[in-house]
Every structure is written in C-alpha cells, then in structure tokens.
Structure 1
Amino acid sequence: MSRLSRTHWAAITAVVLALLFAGAATMASAGGSDDSTSRTPPADSADAGFARDMSVHHQQAVEMSFVVRDRTRDDEVRRLAYDIANTQANQRGMMLGWLDLWGLPKLSADSEPMAWMGEEHAHGSGHGGHAGSPAGDGALMPGMATRADLDRLGKASGKQAEIEYLQLMIIHHNGGISMAEGCAKRCTVGPEKALAEGMVAAQRSEVELMVDLLHKRGAEVRTS
C-alpha cells in the first residue's frame, strides 16, 4: 500500500474516531453516566487547555489547506490538503463541542496559549521551527505559521505553492504532534486522551508523506 493510501486511511480513521468520541460524550452527558467526558475538568486543566489551543491550531491547518487547494492543480497535493482540512475540521468541531459540554470558554483571556503544558512548553519553546517565533508575528503555538508565512503562501502558485504548503504543514504537524503528546500525558478525559493519541499517529504518517512529496519537487524540509 502506498504512503498516500496509508494517509487516506489515517485521515478516515481519525474522522471515524472523532465521531465515535463525540457520540460517546453526548451519550454520557444525556445519560448522566460515570464516563469521564461528562465530568467538567477545571478551566486551567490540560483537558481544557488542549481543547482550546488545538482548536486554534487545527483552524490554521484548515485555512492553509483551502489556500493551497486554490493555488495548485496538482492532484496529490490537493487530495492531501482535502484530507487534512476534512479531518482537522471534524476534530476541531469535536473539541469545541466538549468545551460546550463542560461549560468552559472556547477562548481564555486568563492564560497564555500552551500554559497547560507547563515547564515542558517553556523549555521547548525555542525549538521546532516556529515554536519560538514571537507572538507579534502570529506564531502563538508550536508549529503555527506566521502572518508572513501565510502571506507568502497566498501569493504563490503552482509548484511553488505546493512547496510552501508542504514545508509549512510539516512544521505545523510537528508542533501539533508535540501538543497531542502533551495531552496524552496530561489529559484525564479518556476520549480526549484517545483522540490525542490518534492525532500523533495520523500526523506522523502525513509528515512522512509530505517529506516524500517535497523531495519529488526538489525541495527540502524547513526548520524555521
């Protein structure tokens, strides 16, 4: 099976898991069961912080994917962009749904992005490409593209747009993997931990594919 096919299956699996988890959360809330999803975690918990921050992180991936879809006619990249947009939009909707279920705000003015990762984020914030970029340039969380990055992607077309997208999305995914690994360690809500673990596996698979697609276009992975 090709890596592209594996990525398609990873994306489909992630969406199915997201829908299953969302269904479990709804049933738990309606039925008053002991499932951990029905219990409200503290607003400053890893569970709430991950749901808020990863929702923002996912939204940027969806936006970049829609940009490149309109800037190239390459079937491989357009298909990958669709998979990423579809999967992450579904996961984002589920995480925002959990915040609604818990009665917690989707944005918190009382805490900095990634505060739920504690010292681990503080120690790693200078590594991994855009993770240490100044907030003033638009990079608020690990791997997120800056405004300058997004402007450059929006102005590119054809092969150059493909390269820009793949380079940015590899950095973006690596940042997302770090965040999901943090939730897998710290989150206490069972379905959310499972979703985070699924994100790690699926995004690692997509990173492998994107590295291959970059090499096919004579380009290399960027670190910043």
Structure 2
Amino acid sequence: MSRSLWQALGAVVFALAVVAGAVTVTRAASASDARPAAAPGRASPPGDSADAGFARDMAAHHQQAVEMSFVVRDRTDDPDVRRLAYDIANTQANQRGMLLGWLDLWELPKIASPDAPPMGWLGGHRSHAGGAGAAEGLMPGMATRAQLKALGEAKGRAAEVLYLRLMTAHHKGGVTMAQGCARLCTVGAEKRLAQGMVDAQEAELNLMEGMLREREQ
C-alpha cells in the first residue's frame, strides 16, 4: 500500500476519533445539565432538608391531583373541564416523575417516615392552611377520603363543580408548598421548578374561579 494511501487512511481514522470524542462530550454535558445540581460542597441534599422533603411531599400531592383529574374525565362530557383535567394530569404527572427521579439521584427514600409530620421540612415557615384534609393529617389542600368518594360518585355538572372546588383547594395548598421550596430549597433546578409550579397553579386558580362561577349560577 502506498505511503499516500496510508496517510489518507490515517487522516480518516483521526477525524472519526475527533467526532466520536465530540459526541461523547456533548452527551455528557447534556446529561449533566439535566441533573439538579446540589448545593456547592456536597453531593446531594440531606434526607431532612427542604429539598428532599418538598420532593417527597409534592410527589404525593401531585399524585392525588392526577387521580382526581382522571376521575372527573370519566364523570363529565364537558370539554372545558376535561381539557383542564387533562392538562393538570399531564403536567403534574411529569413533574412528579422529575421529583421522584431526583430522590433516586440523591439516593434518598421516596416516602417520608410515618413519624414525620406532613410539611415538617417547612419548619417555622409551615402554613396553617390545610382545608378539610388537615383533620386527617393531610398536606394543605389534599382531599379527604370522603371527598374523593363523592367525586367518584358524582356525574355531569355536580362532578364538574366538585372537581373544581377540590382542585382549587388542592392548588392553593400546592402553591403554599411550592412557595416554601422557592424560599428554602438549595438545589437550583428544584427551586426553579417550584417557582414554575407557583406561577402555573396561580394561573389555573384564576381559570377555575371563572369556570366555577359559570357552573354555580
């Protein structure tokens, strides 16, 4: 094989190696960007931190919103309520996946200790707002078993009104929790997610207020 041909092959191999290295670096950078970086000086937030507490509690809080939204979609044909329920279920299911994924990344339990009080991570900043669920030791805005049963049995306009009332209380509780994380959490990605929840759920609260007025007249 001629010297010029060897040189050409060598150039091709070198170029392919450069491209492969660039792809590897790009993928690593993308994966790093997707992870919620912990506060400087530590690999992950501790189990009793606001970051971990918010991730656990909001994941559970979101799960109930997803369940209620699927229930009402089967109890009414109203396109506006069904569209709202779909948006809430889709958004909060995705956010719940992120929160649980971060707990996995931090190697922390996804479920709080039975002895830990709901919202204990808020400490002295804890809100007293809890609605009907407070009597059952639930987080702010959570629906009770009796309310969930009533939603599952309601139909048509009655189901729409009950869902909007329950979700209004649920969102108000969720905003309280997310505001707490926006103040107290140390992981930047989680703080940004929490603030995004505040903004989105406050907008949905305004929307639901109008929808309730229309259906309660």
- Kindly provide the CA deviation profile for residues 166-187 of structure 1, in whole angstroms up to 9, marking residues without a partner as x: 0000000000000000000000
Equivalenced residue count is 187
The correspondence for 1:70, drawn from 57, 69, 74, is 74
Runs of 4+ in 1 over 3 A off after TM superposition: 23-26
Q: Which residue of 2 aligns with 1:177?
A: 175
Q: Which residue of 2 aligns with 1:194?
A: 192
State the one-letter code of the partner of 1:176. Answer: G
Separation in 2, partners of 1:84, 1:195: 15
- The verdict on how the C-alpha distance between 1:101 and 1:214 changes in structure 2, with shifts beyond 3 A counting, is same
- Unaligned segments of structure 1, at least 5 residues: 1-22, 220-224
* 1:29 CA displacement: 8.4
Q: Which residue of 1 aligns with 2:118?
A: 113
* 1:119 CA displacement: 2.1
Map of 1:81-96 to 2, 5 A cutoff? 81-96=85-100
Q: Which residue of 1 aligns with 2:50?
A: 46
The correspondence for 2:84, drawn from 77, 80, 86, is 80
Q: Is the Cα contact below 8 Å between 1:173 and 1:203 reproduced in 2? A: yes
Separation in 2, partners of 1:24, 1:204: 34
Separation in 1, partners of 2:209, 2:29: 35
* 1:120 CA displacement: 2.4
Q: Which residue of 1 aligns with 2:208?
A: 210
Map of 1:155-166 to 2, 5 A cutoff? 155-166=153-164
Helix, strand or coil at the partner of 1:42? coil
* 1:39 CA displacement: 2.7
Give the superposed CA RMSD: 2.2
Separation in 2, partners of 1:168, 1:58: 13
Q: Which residue of 2 aligns with 1:17?
A: none
Q: Is the Cα contact below 8 Å between 1:130 and 1:171 reproduced in 2? A: no
* 1:113 CA displacement: 1.9
Separation in 2, partners of 1:90, 1:25: 19
Separation in 1, partners of 2:106, 2:93: 20
- The verdict on how the C-alpha distance between 1:189 and 1:147 changes in structure 2, with shifts beyond 3 A counting, is same
In the alignment, does 2:152 pair up with 1:147?
Answer: no
TM-score of the two chains, using structure 2 as the length reference: 0.80
In the alignment, does 2:104 pair up with 1:100?
Answer: yes
% identity of equivalent residues: 60
Mark the structure with the bigger radius of gyration: 2
Q: Is the Cα contact below 8 Å between 2:161 and 2:216 reproduced in 1? A: no
- The verdict on how the C-alpha distance between 1:24 and 1:178 changes in structure 2, with shifts beyond 3 A counting, is farther
- The verdict on how the C-alpha distance between 1:24 and 1:212 changes in structure 2, with shifts beyond 3 A counting, is farther
* 1:128 CA displacement: 4.8
* 1:27 CA displacement: 1.9
Q: Is the Cα contact below 8 Å between 2:133 and 2:144 reproduced in 1? A: no
The correspondence for 1:130, drawn from 129, 132, 155, is 132
* 1:26 CA displacement: 4.3
